[in-house]
Structure 1
Amino acid sequence: MIDEKLTRLRTHRNNIDRYRRLLKTRLTELERQYIEARLSEEQSALEKLAASTFPLAFPAPSIQNSRTQPPISSAA
Structure 2
Amino acid sequence: MLDEDLARIRAHRNNIDRYRRLLRTRLSELERQFIERRLAEEQTALDALVADTFPVAFTLPKGQSDSATIGAER
* TM-score, scaled relative to structure 1: 0.75
SS of the residue corresponding to residue 13 of structure 1 reads helix
Identical aligned residues as a percent = 70
Greater radius of gyration (CA)? 1
What is the letter of the counterpart of residue 36 of structure 1? E
User: Which amino acid in 2 is paired with 1:2?
Assistant: L
Q: TM-score, normalised by structure 2?
A: 0.77
Give structure 1 stretches of 5+ with no counterpart: 65-76
Q: In the alignment, is residue 51 of structure 1 matched against residue 46 of structure 2?
A: no
Q: CA deviation at 1:56?
A: 1.1
AA matched with 2:4: E
Deviation beyond 3 Å, 4+ runs, structure 1? none
| Structure with higher helix content | 2
